[in-house]
Amino acid sequence: AQSVTQLGSHVSVSEGALVLLRCNYSSSVPPYLFWYVQYPNQGLQLLLKYTSAATLVKGINGFEAEFKKSETSFHLTKPSAHMSDAAEYFCAVSASGGSYIPTFGRGTSLIVHP
């Protein structure tokens, strides 16, 4: 069984500030972990993925995430927020082996203030 918990349904930051979106996972086998972004009335777009290689994963648009097995976490960060980063962000986990169907978290809405 696998699950994802995203802490905070909304995160508000000022433009230029650090972005930190939290994700904790549960998986009985080594996980694959993902972050997706969703803009209004659009589908999800992959930001980055962890697949047991480097624990620090760099993605698109300046985002990165660090896999910490001891903390079962995969938090998403960006050093400096842009207005265009305002969107819904979803963390997802899937188990290595099997059908690779991901389980998504409930999402975190990122609000960026000018």
Partner 1 sequence: DTGVSQNPRHKITKRGQNVTFRCDPISEHNRLYWYRQTLGQGPEFLTYFQNEAQLEKSRLLSDRFSAERPKGSFSTLEIQRTEQGDSAMYLCASSLGGQGHQPQHFGDGTRLSIL
What is the contact surface with partner 1 in residues (CB under 8 A)? 4, 9, 32, 34, 36, 41-46, 49, 51, 90, 92, 94, 96, 99-107
Nearer to partner 1, 4 or 19 (CB): 4
**CA-angle at 109, arms to 59 and 50, nearest 5°:** 30
Q: Provide the minimum distance between the beta carbon of 58 and partner 1 in the complex, in angstroms, as a whole number.
A: 15
CA gap 94, 105 in Å, rounded? 12
Bridge pairing between strands 44-50 and 103-104: unpaired
Q: Provide the minimum distance between the beta carbon of 81 and partner 1 in the complex, in angstroms, as a whole number.
A: 22
Bridge pairing between strands 10-14 and 108-113: parallel
Nearer to partner 1, 77 or 104 (CB): 104
Nearer to partner 1, 28 or 41 (CB): 41
Q: Provide the minimum distance between the beta carbon of 19 and partner 1 in the complex, in angstroms, as a whole number.
A: 19
Give the residue carrying structure tokens 């290689």.
53
